[in-house]
């Protein structure tokens, strides 16, 4: 082992859903009958991604970097990822790949997965072959299955 060994980070996030006109996932607006309840723009996937990147370099979480203050209200979640990426770069590292699981009962994300993948690749400045996006339902059970919650998990490898 050296200090140049690869590092892995994981992040997860969830937001409650309420009636609305759509939710943001990975920087992509998904029209539907819900919106995410959040202090920021509620992009659950970008929050989990930022935490995965920070985790890989042992640098806390987005709550440390962006506390829920007035100035962070409605902040674009891409800012969280950009700051996490800046810290990865400052640590002399780069993102190897990220792998994402989204848990949402509806709408079905099949038509959006490729756009989400492209959006994440662009945000992270990596090739889209280094981004995996999977969408799952909860088969009608639990808070996700009742469309009360959207959940995301991200694993990130940092080289
Ligand atoms: Mg969040």
Domain that holds residue 143: 7-158
pTM of the model: 0.95
Structure confidence by residue, pLDDT tens digits, 99-113? 999 999 999 999 999
Q: Is residue 148 part of a domain?
A: yes
**Å from CA of 155 to ligand 1 middle:** 16
**Å from CA of 4 to ligand 1 middle:** 31
> Structural domain tally of the chain?
1
Is residue 115 scored above 90 in pLDDT? yes
Q: Is residue 22 part of a domain?
A: yes
Cα-Cα end-to-end distance for the chain: 13
Tokens standing for residue 97 = 């790949």
pLDDT band per the 50, 70, 90 thresholds, residue 1: very low
Q: Is residue 130 part of a domain?
A: yes
Quote the CA–CA distance of 50 and 12 in Å, as a whole number: 9
Cis geometry, peptide bond prior to residue 107 (ω within 30 degrees of 0) = yes
Tokens standing for residue 96 = 């190897």
**Å from CA of 62 to ligand 1 middle:** 9
Is residue 94 scored above 90 in pLDDT? yes
**Å from CA of 58 to ligand 1 middle:** 19
**Å from CA of 2 to ligand 1 middle:** 34
Q: Is residue 2 part of a domain?
A: no
Is residue 12 scored above 90 in pLDDT? yes
Write the CB contacts of 63 (distance below 8 Å, at least 6 apart in sequence): none
Nearest Cα to Cα of residue 102 among 148, 146, 136, 51: 136
Q: Is residue 1 part of a domain?
A: no
Structure confidence by residue, pLDDT tens digits, 33-91? 999 998 888 999 999 999 999 999 999 999 888 887 878 777 889 999 999 999 999 99
User: Which CATH number fits the domain that encloses residue 81?
Assistant: 3.30.1330.50
| Host H or E run for residue 41 | none
């Amino acid at each position: 082992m050296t200090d140049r060994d690869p590092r892995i980070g994981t992040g997860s996030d969830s937001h409650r859903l309420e009636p609305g006109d759509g939710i943001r996932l990975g920087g992509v607006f998904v029209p539907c009958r819900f919106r995410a309840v959040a202090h920021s723009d509620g992009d659950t996937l970008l929050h989990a991604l930022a935490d995965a990147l920070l985790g890989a370099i042992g640098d806390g979480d987005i709550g440390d970097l962006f506390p829920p203050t007035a100035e962070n209200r409605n902040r674009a979640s891409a800012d969280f990822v950009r700051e996490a990426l800046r810290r990865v770069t400052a640590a002399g590292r780069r993102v190897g790949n990220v792998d994402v699981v989204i848990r949402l009962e509806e709408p079905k994300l099949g038509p959006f997965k490729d756009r989400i993948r492209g959006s994440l690749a662009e945000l992270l400045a990596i090739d889209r072959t280094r981004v995996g996006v999977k969408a799952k339902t909860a088969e009608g059970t639990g808070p996700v299955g009742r469309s009360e919650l959207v959940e995301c998990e991200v694993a990130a490898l940092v080289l």
